[in-house]
Amino acid sequence: MKDTVSSKEDYIEDFRRNYVESYPPAWMITEVLSFGNLNYIYSNIASNKLMKCIAGHFGLKPQVFTSWLTVLANLRNMCCHHARIWNRDFMLTPAEPRKMSNAWIDTSKIDKKRIFYRLCIIRYFLASVSPNNNFNEKIVDLLALFPSIDIAAMGFFRSWQHECLWN
């Protein structure tokens, strides 16, 4: 993999010096993979059982998990290329989850082509892997720094902070 070969991370270089295996352990590889490559690998897993197991870890079905990874990879690329994201309609529409095992939002109030929906996806994943993260506070603080910005243009609705996902 190109990402591991070109990596200058200490743990990758240490692995190369001390082991004869061609590839480092999976945890090392996932640390240096691009988001796009991670999405590509997941999307090409041959075993439906394995895809269900991975998506199920996040309380999602594989179709939704793949869709959300694709949407976030697209968002990440837009951010890296300094594209405008705050008040735009995104071309990709994320798949809609039916049953959620973790807190989610009332999507009847939301425009899925706006940044708020993508922030909800990020919040969902973060809550799944790190329940005590401070993403909520960071979003609130960022919005408070720019009170003149029309958050409705980003897809936020009036009572968004009261949704279970954001508590």
**Mean per-residue pLDDT for 26-30?**
84
Q: Which stretches of the chain are assigned E, i.e. beta strand?
A: none
Residue that wins the pLDDT comparison between 65 and 6 = 65
Between CA 98 and CA 122 the distance in angstroms is 18
Q: What is the pLDDT of residue 25?
A: 86
At 2, the pLDDT band (50, 70, 90 cuts) reads: low
pLDDT of 111 higher than 70? yes
**Mean per-residue pLDDT for 4-17?**
79
**Mean per-residue pLDDT for 95-121?**
90
Identify which of 25, 30, 28 has the alpha carbon closest to the alpha carbon of residue 11. 28
Q: What is the pLDDT of residue 64?
A: 95
Tokens representing residue 122 in the block:
């990020």
